[in-house]
Amino acid sequence: MERPDPTIVTVPRACPHDRPGSLCADCKVRSVSVCAALDESELAGLAALATGADYSAKAELFPQGAAARHVFNVTEGTVRTYRVLPDGRRQILGFLLPGDFIGLALTPTYAFGAEAVSAVKACRFERPAFEALVAAKPHLLRRLHEAASHELSLAQDHMVLLGRRTAEEKLAAFLLGLRDRLVRLGGSRVTLPLAMTRQDIADHLGLTIETVSRTFTKFVRDRVLLIVPDGVRLLDAARLETMLAA
């Protein structure tokens, strides 16, 4: 699958954005999101609640601990979710790509902050209306639960990574995991756009920016990858896989 510009994951129009009259039924990320659980009539209900929200790079979707007034479905761009300690240390919990849902937990406040890494477009739903829909549609709740369970499993994976992996293994796991997600969204298998900074990657993997940079350099020296503008090109993904098997 060819992509003209590897730096941008172009996901065709989603939910009702800046195109008046467009519906969730046309949403190009629907198949990979919680919305996949809904039938036509339910989608209609959802579409009525949806508004488009655009964020420029570095914009805050919401801060940690804020009242949870919305749930979101990312349709374009990359979002980082994070928690910070009082002294400023930051842990990035994850990077959200098109199709990813924010607000699965249905808690009164957000347990983490969220910021746009690149320019982001999202489908946004008011919480009260969304909750009402969930209450009316057990199947949607079931789907939310499955999504939350999946996220819990990913969180557990990440605990293993943070607690028991070396710097090299961490970066290898990060790159392969991101590649797989991008492939599912129709991206290239060898060229990964990296919207996030080295600092973001470091804060996700429990490393410093210098260690991330040095590890990238080592991978380049070992002919495992090339660094290209705004991303990397994988030369030897098998070698990365091997690091994880070990």
Partner DNA sequence: CGAAGGATTGATCACGATCAATCGCGGTGG
Partner DNA sequence: CCACCGCGATTGATCGTGATCAATCCTTCG
Binding site partner of 85, from DNA, a copy of itself, none, Cβ cut-off 5-8 A by kind? a copy of itself
Out of 15, 212, 224, 234, point to the residue binding DNA (CB under 7 A): 212
Stretch that binds a copy of itself, among 6-14, 45-53, 100-108, 227-235 (CB under 8 A): 100-108
Q: Which residues of 162-171 are buried (b: 16+ CB within 10 A; e: fewer)?
A: eeebebbbbb
- The residue from 197, 223, 236, 241 that contacts DNA (CB under 7 A) is 197
Q: Which stretch binds a copy of itself (CB under 8 A): 5-13, 16-24, 41-49, 147-155?
A: 147-155
Q: Indicate which of DNA, a copy of itself, none lies near residue 166 (CB less than 5 to 8 Å, by partner kind).
A: DNA
Q: In what order do the strands lie in the sheet with 120-126?
A: 50-55, 120-126, 70-76, 101-102
User: Which residue number, 7 or 91, has a Cβ lying nearer to a copy of itself?
Assistant: 91
For residue 206, state whether it binds DNA (rule: CB under 7 A). Answer: yes
Contact footprint for a copy of itself (CB under 8 A)? 83, 85-87, 89-91, 93, 104-107, 111-112, 138, 141-142, 144-146, 148-149, 151-153, 155-160, 162-164, 203, 205-206, 245-246
